[in-house]
């Protein structure tokens, strides 16, 4: 009996001792976090934390403090698409071209119903730049951001990249808390991570897990030039976490939470994040150019299976197998051949096609890289100069997208407005080689609407073109409606995705 009492007393003493140590540690860590938010030298603070002993890596309190204040709640409103006749309504003057003035009926104007959505975002600069997922803000008309201190701001879209499912938005604010980028390349399988976001509209939620895999391709991005090389984690991620932060135990951003593997739509064990290395490249390009400067190697590739290895007599199982080489591409110029296995880019080993996509996705057209290939059981190092999809090494300007249409535009004259009873429109002039000519558009065509949006200026054309190029749809099409000066009404479907 006494022995049992002594054991119980000993256990209680141990519990008190452990609790005291934990409490002391938490107080010390809380003090560190508070001092962090009092300093203005954020990079220095992170540098000091990076040198901290790794023995405390399972204490998530500091990482949570460093990240939770820089993760925001993103709320969106998206118009619900309503099927309408040409011109968007009976009282549009252009409706008369189809049904005649006698068919015009006065109808009360009503706004399209709005569908609300929500996600998360990560503040990456103290002046209001925020990273989120493209699918969070895609096709939205209103974006609202709520900070952890409950302040609310209207946000504007700076740019988006459907190929990586990353978008950049901006709010007008200063001295905001930020999360600094970490090195996603150094992340190890089995390493502890935190997922920070707003699942189910539950703000400032932190969950913990480990990295369970890297360079995961789950085939969820619907884009011709998609890059899927996700960090896989078992930290709980649910609807609303999209666009939130995946951080290491030092509070550094190593990924943007993007997707979950689930049969129900809720967390079922695994979640996936875009690596910070890709996010950083995409965000930098969007801020500098307005869109991503995409580099292309110019190969069709796949992973090596046991069947493929046997069929092609391959002696290795890791790397990206080259099934085709595009003529004139960077790979072709460098000497890459069909049947090669790409095993490295610069100093990084390549184990899969997804990893190769990730590595190439970090570069811009004109960048020079070293490609390691395995050919006939020998390793070769080839020098390649990357190109863009059009086969050029030049950095594209912000005007490049509208140049693909191959025409100039000017506002329609007052005479044409009176003739066709139009309030707006843009006339196609100086048509040359490009998308419009390929679709059959001729000079003098008066563009009234594109994708059911009124076209009043060159900026309207740029905007609707940008939206089409940034859509997740496989086919990127401009549905152009207008009239020729002789009164002939015409529709054109212009494919801008190729």
List pLDDT tens digits, range 6-23: 334 333 333 334 344 434
> Catalytic one among 120, 184, 229, 242?
242
pLDDT for position 94: 44
Nearest of 337, 301, 336 to residue 321 by alpha carbon: 301
Q: To the nearest whole percent, how much of the chain has pLDDT over 90? A: 56
CB 228 within 8 A of CB 217: yes
pLDDT for position 256: 98
Residue 92 has pLDDT above 70, yes or no: no
The whole-number average pLDDT for the span 109-114 is 64
Residue 452 confidence class, pLDDT cut points 50, 70, 90: confident
> Which stretch, 121-125, 424-428, 467-471, 477-481, has highest mean pLDDT?
121-125
Residue 97 confidence class, pLDDT cut points 50, 70, 90: very low
Q: What is the pTM of this model?
A: 0.70
Each residue's pLDDT tens digit, 332-384: 999 999 999 999 999 899 999 999 999 999 999 999 999 999 999 899 999 99
35 is catalytic: no
Nearest of 121, 242, 125 to residue 180 by alpha carbon: 125
Residue 93 has pLDDT above 90, yes or no: no
> Catalytic one among 67, 69, 118, 135?
135
Residue 75 has pLDDT above 90, yes or no: yes
69 is catalytic: no
Tell me the H-state helices in 386-430. Answer: 400-403, 414-420
Region of 251 (left: φ > 0; alpha: ψ -120 to 50; beta: rest) is left
pLDDT for position 290: 81
Return all residues near 496 (Cβ < 8 A) that are at least 6 apart.
404, 405, 435, 465, 468, 469, 476, 477, 478
How does the average pLDDT of the chain come out, rounded?
83
pLDDT for position 105: 40
The whole-number average pLDDT for the span 459-485 is 78
Residue 430 vs residue 212, higher pLDDT: 212
Residue 108 has pLDDT above 50, yes or no: no
Q: What is the SS3 assignment for 31?
A: helix
Residue 296 vs residue 388, higher pLDDT: 296
Residue 100 confidence class, pLDDT cut points 50, 70, 90: very low
| CA dist., res. 386 & res. 394, Å (int) | 10
Tell me the H-state helices in 125-199. Answer: 134-137
The whole-number average pLDDT for the span 142-166 is 94
Residue 457 has pLDDT above 90, yes or no: no
Residue 494 has pLDDT above 60, yes or no: yes
Residue 51 confidence class, pLDDT cut points 50, 70, 90: low
CATH architecture of 299-385: Roll (2.30)
Strands 166-170 vs 129-133: parallel, antiparallel or unpaired: antiparallel
CATH architecture of 59-293: Beta Barrel (2.40)
135 is catalytic: yes
The whole-number average pLDDT for the span 157-181 is 94
pLDDT for position 27: 43
Residue 480 confidence class, pLDDT cut points 50, 70, 90: very high
User: In the structure encoding, which two tokens stand for residue 12, read together?
Assistant: 């209680």
Residue 310 has pLDDT above 60, yes or no: yes
pLDDT for position 44: 56
Residue 44 vs residue 330, higher pLDDT: 330
CB 260 within 8 A of CB 238: yes
Return all residues near 12 (Cβ < 8 A) that are at least 6 apart.
none
Q: What is the SS3 assignment for 60?
A: coil
The dihedral through the CA atoms of 371, 373, 276, 186 has a sign that is negative
Q: What is the SS3 assignment for 408?
A: strand
Residue 233 has pLDDT above 60, yes or no: yes
Tell me the H-state helices in 39-143. Answer: 42-50, 61-68, 96-99, 134-137
pLDDT for position 80: 73
Each residue's pLDDT tens digit, 181-221: 999 999 999 999 999 999 998 888 999 999 999 999 998 88
CATH number of 400-495: 3.40.50.620, 2.30.42.10, 3.90.25.10, 2.60.120.10? Answer: 2.30.42.10
> Catalytic one among 92, 138, 161, 165?
165
């Amino acid at each position: 009996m006494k022995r049992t009492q002594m054991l119980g007393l000993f256990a209680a003493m141990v519990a008190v001792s452990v609790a005291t140590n934990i409490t002391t540690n938490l107080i010390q860590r809380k003090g560190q976090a508070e001092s962090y938010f009092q300093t203005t030298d954020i990079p220095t603070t992170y540098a000091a934390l990076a040198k901290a002993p790794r023995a405390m890596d399972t204490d998530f309190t500091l990482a949570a403090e460093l990240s939770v204040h820089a993760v925001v709640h993103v709320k969106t409103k998206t118009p619900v698409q309503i099927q309408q006749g040409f011109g968007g309504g009976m009282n549009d003057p252009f409706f008369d071209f189809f049904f005649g003035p006698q068919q015009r009926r006065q109808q009360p104007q009503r706004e399209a119903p709005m569908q609300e959505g929500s996600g998360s975002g990560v503040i990456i600069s103290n002046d209001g730049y925020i990273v989120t997922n493209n699918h969070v803000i895609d096709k939205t008309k209103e974006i609202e951001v709520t900070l952890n201190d409950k302040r609310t701001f209207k946000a504007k879209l700076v740019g988006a990249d459907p190929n990586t499912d990353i978008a950049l938005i901006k709010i007008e604010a200063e001295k905001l808390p930020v999360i600094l980028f970490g090195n996603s390349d150094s992340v190890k399988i089995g390493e502890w991570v935190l997922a920070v976001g707003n699942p189910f509209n539950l703000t400032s939620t932190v969950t913990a897990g480990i990295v369970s895999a890297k360079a995961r391709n789950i085939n969820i991005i619907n884009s011709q030039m998609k890059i899927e090389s996700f960090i896989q984690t078992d930290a709980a991620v649910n609807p609303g976490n999209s666009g939130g932060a995946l951080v290491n135990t030092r509070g550094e951003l190593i990924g943007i939470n993007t997707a979950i593997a689930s049969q129900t739509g809720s967390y079922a064990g695994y979640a996936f994040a875009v690596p910070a290395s890709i996010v950083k490249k995409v965000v930098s390009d969007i801020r500098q150019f307005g869109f991503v400067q995409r580099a292309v190697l110019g190969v069709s590739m796949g992973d090596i299976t046991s069947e493929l290895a046997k069929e092609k007599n391959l002696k290795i199982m890791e790397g990206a197998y080259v099934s085709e080489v595009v003529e004139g591409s960077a790979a072709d110029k460098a000497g890459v051949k069909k049947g090669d296995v790409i095993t490295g880019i610069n100093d990084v080993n390549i184990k899969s096609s997804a990893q190769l996509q990730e590595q190439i996705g970090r570069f811009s057209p004109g960048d020079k890289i070293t490609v390691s290939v395995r050919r006939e059981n020998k390793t070769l190092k080839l020098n390649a100069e990357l190109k863009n999809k059009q086969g050029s090494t030049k950095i594209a300007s912000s005007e490049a997208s509208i140049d693909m249409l191959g025409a100039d535009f000017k506002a329609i004259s007052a005479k044409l407005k009176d003739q066709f009873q139009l309030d707006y429109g843009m006339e196609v002039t100086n048509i040359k080689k490009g998308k419009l000519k390929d679709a059959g558009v001729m000079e003098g065509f008066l563009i009234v609407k594109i994708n059911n949006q009124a076209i009043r200026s060159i900026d309207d054309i740029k905007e609707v073109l940008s939206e089409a190029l940034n859509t997740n749809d496989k086919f990127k099409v401009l549905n152009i409606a207008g009239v020729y000066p002789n009164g002939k009404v015409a529709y054109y479907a212009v494919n801008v995705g190729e």
